[in-house]
Amino acid sequence: MIQNRKIPRIVYLNLILLFLVLGVIFFPEIRDSLGHLTASTKPIAPRKQMQAVQLQNSFRSVYQIAQKSVVSIRTKKTETIHNPYHYFDSKEETVSAVGSGFLIDPRGFVVTNYHVIRSAEIIEIILHNGRVAPARFVGSHERADIALLKIQEGDDYEYASLGDSNEVEVGDWAIAVGSPYGLEKTFTVGVVSAKSREDLDETGQTHIQTDTAINPGSSGGPLLNIYGEVIGINRMIRSASGSSAGIGFAIPINYAKKVIKSIEMNVGKNIRPATLGVVATVPIQHHREALGIPNNEVGVLVYDIDPDSSAALGGLQRFDYIRMANGNVIRNTNELREQVSLAGLGGNLKLNIIRRSKIKDIEITLIEKKYYE
């Protein structure tokens, strides 16, 4: 009896696979067609852009973290608008403005620039999810240009991680997130252009310079490093047009931390600018020898005092050598200026000085200088 045996299906599949392999080997046009079908549709193969993709993913990660803590700040105030042709013809209008800020605490504390909320009658915080929360003024420091606000504690926001601005180096990545021209959660990237720009304005404080795009409305937002840490508070730009020209400045976060502590100790107040009323410098060797100041002593030498100033009324004298102010070592005039600024008008400045080769402590109350004709 003859048996009708069927050929297993696997044999047919193996034969088909064999013919395909032979076709690819002996017929190049078939190989090219198959290669085209399996090739990436991207103009540049991903394997050639590995480093760029890794950097791109780093930026994405920074944004995903930062955008949850960055807020938009909307302010409203009433202004009197005068008719330019009839001075006594005026009317009151409500004027709105937009700035940026960021959450620094799970209790709902928000940091921004003082000039963002100055004279505001209504302050509203727009969170990353679009929720609008009324904000309460906690305090501000006018010269440092920093303000602290408070919104109701909630579980629908995250707060920023504050970094160490002393570790910043020129060439580091610098990333800004804010609301330029009211465009919320705008993300811009650049580098640190300079670490310690001094004497840019009347504040006298140092700034981090960056070419990261900062525009009106970005003020008060964070300047971040590649790890998503806040290294500065975006404050101002240098531009002939009023728009970004690649020269922006941020308040170093280490200085901002000190200012925030000062604000927390003066809740409800705007800490106004104060001056000590001295002309000081780091002494040269001749001065050290003449005044008996040891070479290893860091500090600044007072060589002139403004009459009726805080320094004069507080007992500071010419040729006093200031070693410390409010417990902080003074290495140069900028550090002395910083301590005066932190104390603010009406604050106290505890100085440790060398006077005629003897170390002593004096306390000076920072008062408003009165000028007489």
Pairwise CA distance, residues 190 & 315, whole Å: 48
Count Cβ neighbours within 10 Å for each residue of 66-89 and write b for 16 or more, e otherwise: bbbbbbbbbbebeeeeeeeeeeee
Is residue 309 within 8 Å of residue 355, measured between CB atoms? no
| Beta bridge partners of residue 136, listed in sequence order | 150
Is residue 66 within 8 Å of residue 177, measured between CB atoms? yes
- Bridge-based pairing of strands 270-271 and 136-141 is parallel
To 5 degrees, how large is the angle CA 32–CA 38–CA 42? 105
Is residue 105 within 8 Å of residue 153, measured between CB atoms? no
Residues whose CB is less than 8 angstroms from the CB of residue 339 and which lie 6 or more positions away in sequence, other chains included: 325, 326, 328, 330, 349
To 5 degrees, how large is the angle CA 116–CA 143–CA 220? 30
Structure tokens belonging to residue 217:
């409305």
Residues carrying an active site annotation: 115, 145, 219
Structure letter (DSSP) for residue 84: T
- Bridge-based pairing of strands 328-329 and 132-134 is unpaired
To 5 degrees, how large is the angle CA 255–CA 259–CA 264? 150
> How far lies 47's CA from each of 33, 51, 62, in Å?
22, 9, 23
* Identity of the residue numbered 311: A
3-state SS assignment for residue 76: strand
Count CB atoms within 10 A of the CB of residue 344: 22
